[in-house]
Structure formats: structure tokens, C-alpha cells
Amino acid sequence: MTVTAPEETGTRAAKTDGPGAARGARPPGRIRRIGLPYLLLLPALLLEILVHLLPIVTGIFMSFKELSQFYLRDWGAAPWRGLDNYSVTVDFDAPIGAALLHSFAITCAFTVLSVGLCWLLGTTAAVYLQETFRGRGVLRALFLVPYALPVYAAVITWAFMFQRDNGLVNHVLHDQLGLTDSPTFWLIGDNSFVALLVVSVWKGWPFAFLIVMAGLQNIPRDMYEAAAIDGAGMWQQIRRITLPSLRPVNQVLVLVLFLWTFNDFNTPYVLFGKSAPESADLISIHIYQSSFATWDFGTGSAMSVLLLLFLLVVTGLYLLVTNRGRKTADV
């Protein structure tokens, strides 16, 4: 059965010109009964279940349990807590809920700023590099370096640079340029938010640059030429041609950047360790600490489930709003 399947697929692929053409060469016997497409999808489906669905279901199950170190070894036997973990999590007057709310607010502000700056920098650089000039290739490659570097190595380097007494950042800002009265703390205290934002934008904007650059390739040059003949300046060309044409690309880009940034764990963890300063206590690290540092896996799971729901709602609304415009346009 497994031997015949690829042959059948090959034949089908060769003959297929459109959806109707495939109907002529259906596989025989049992395979037809089960449905070849489903059979071919099965490995992916099984992996999807194993890698995504099962952990989600397990996480939801755990969120209803009192899961501490006492039940780690046999967590199926942990006492059922019902919605208690959730009520603790959303009780914003009590310490656990209040800390989560604080962390959520920090994460929202961080995400808006980081995604906004990544998009702005990426788009500006991509538009700028549309013009041909000497060294454009080198510049393009250079811009992609942060994206190509392993996250851990890059962020740990930033952590060194942000050290107060021996770091490069203070060396430049304080020692060389004299912009600050005394060396600044970047890894503890209120400035941690700025440090986190800088690293996040540095790491994220090349992706925006790459995607926008790809999007720009699809805009016909003659549109710009026609606009130029009509007297449109550079700014008008960007507003009237570039941005509207990039809209579908930007929709995906902003969504992906939003999800990545909101959930970013590596950057704060490598920068600050397992207990981030309050000003940079992103929700991912907050949940990690609730689960793994205080060993309260039930509450940690409840927080994760709520986060998942929030991201699903936001993503759903975003897709609804952005697709509505497109559907109207299609009609």
C-alpha cells in the first residue's frame, strides 16, 4: 500500500492541470476508500497532534489541577482544583493576579513599541534599498546579520554590552560622549525596559526588512514612473503606491511580529535570568517563573491558557478586520 501511493501521486501530479483533471486517475481499492489525500496528510496530522495539540490539551488539563512538587512524579494523581487556579490568576486585587496584570501591561506596551519600531525601521530600510547604488548588496547582507545570528549568542553579547561598569554601552554614552552624569544601570531597575526594547528591535527589524523588501519586488516599477510623470514626489509615491501595495504583506508581517514579540521568552531570559526586573517582566518569563521557579504548575498553566485565549482573540479580531477590507475590495 505504501509503495503504490507515491506512484499514484506521481501519475496524478503529471496529469493534473486543474482540479477537474485529477478525477480521471483515482487510486483503486482501499486507498480510494480511505482517500489518498487524507492518507498523505496523515503523517503531518499525527505530528501536529503530537507536537501541538497534545501539549495544549495537557496544559489545559494541568490548569485545573493543584500541581506542585508533591505531585510531580505522578501528576495524574494531583488533586482537582476546578477553576481555582483561574480565579487566583484573575483576582487582580490579590498579589498573584496583580503581578500578572502588571506583567500583561508591560508586555502590551513592549509589544506595541517593539513591533512598531521593527516595522518602521524595516520598511524604511527596505524602501531606501530599492534604489540601486554601489554597495547595496553588502548593505542588504549586513542588515540581515541580526536575523541570522543565533539568538542566545546575540543576546548574551548584548547582556555584556549593557553591563554597568564594564559594558560597551556605558563606555560610549558616559565615558566617550559624556551624555550621562554617571554610568547607567541597564540590566536592573527601570532602564531594563529600554534595554529589552533595544535588543528586541535589533533582533526583529531585519525580519520586517526582509518581508517588506520581498513585497516591494512585486510592485511594478512603471507605477512609480507614471506617478513621477504626474508630478508625484517621493513621499507621495510612498503614501499612494508603496504603502497600499504593501498592505497584504504588512498584514501578515505585523501579525507574525506581534505573536513573536508578545511571546518572546529568549530575549528577557538570556538578558536578565529567571527573575526579570519589574519594569521588564514580560508575560512569558512571568509564567515561567510562576511555573518553574515557584513550582506552581497549575497556576502557571492557567496563566498560559488565558494567554493563549487572549492571543487567539486578538489574532481572530485582527484577521477579521484586515480581511474585511480585502473582501470588500474583491467584490
Partner 1 sequence: MRRIRAAAVGAATLSLVLAATSCGGGSSTGGGSNDSPKTLTYWATNQGASLEVDKKVLAPELKKFEKQTGIKVKLEVVPWADLLNRILAATTSGQGPDVLNIGNTWSASLQASGALLPWDEKTFDKIGGKDRFLASALASAGAEGKDPAAVPLYSMAYALYYNKKMFADAGIEKPPATWDELVATGKKLSKDGKWALGAEGSNLSNNIHQVFVLGQQHGADFFDAQGKPDFTSDGAVAAVKQYVDLMAKDKIVAPGNAEYAQNQSLSDFAKDKTAMVLWQTASATFKAQGMSEDEWGVAPAPVQSGTPGTGTSANSMVAGINMSVFKNTDNLDGSLKFVKFMTSDAEQKILNKTYGSIPPVKSAQSDAEFNRPDLKVIRDTLANSAAALPQVPNESQFETVVGTAVKNLFAAAAGGKAVTNESVKAELTKAQQQMPKK
Interaction site with partner 1 (CB under 8 A): 33-35, 38, 42, 45-46, 49-50, 54, 66, 68-70, 72-76, 94-96, 99, 163-165, 183, 185, 187-190, 273-275, 277-278, 289, 292-296
For residue 88, how many other CB atoms are within 10 A of its CB?
19
Closest to 200 measured CA to CA, from 255, 141, 262, 279: 262
Measured from the CB atom, is 36 or 139 closer to partner 1?
36
| Least distance CB 131 / partner 1 (angstroms) | 44
* Closest CB to partner 1 among residues 128, 295: 295
- 65 forms beta bridges with 80
35 phi-psi bin (left φ>0, alpha ψ -120 to 50, beta other): left
Min dist CB 295 to partner 1, Å, is 6
Residue 80, beta-bridge partner list: 65
For partner 1, the closer of residues 43 and 135 by Cβ is 43
Gap between the Cα atoms of 72 and 52, Å rounded: 22
Q: What is the DSSP string of 277-303?
A: -GGG--HHHHHHIIIIIS--HHHHHHH
- Which residue lies nearer to partner 1 by CB, 160 or 310? 160
Least distance to partner 1, CB of residue 263, Å: 19
Nearer to partner 1, 4 or 275 (CB): 275
Q: For residues 122 and 207, is the Cβ–Cβ distance under 8 A?
A: yes
Distance in angstroms (rounded) separating the CA atoms of residues 302 and 299: 5
Nearest distance from residue 204's CB to partner 1, in Å? 25
Indicate the length of the chain as a whole number: 331
In the bound state with partner 1, the residue whose beta carbon lies nearer, of 79 and 316, is 79
What is the smallest separation between the CB atom of 286 and partner 1, expressed in angstroms? 11
277 CB neighbour count, 10 Å cutoff: 20
The least CB distance from residue 72 to partner 1, in Å, is: 5
CA-to-CA separations, 32 to 18, 26, 37, 290, in angstroms, rounded: 20, 7, 9, 51
Query: What are 293's three cell numbers?
Result: 521557579
Least distance to partner 1 from the beta carbon of 152, Å?
Answer: 12
Q: How far apart are CA 14 and CA 16, in angstroms?
A: 6
Nearer to partner 1, 200 or 290 (CB): 290
Cα 307 to Cα 86: distance, rounded to the nearest angstrom? 12
Minimum separation from the CB atom of position 178 to partner 1 (A): 18
Nearer to partner 1, 67 or 117 (CB): 67
Q: Please tell me what DSSP assigns to residue 186.
A: S
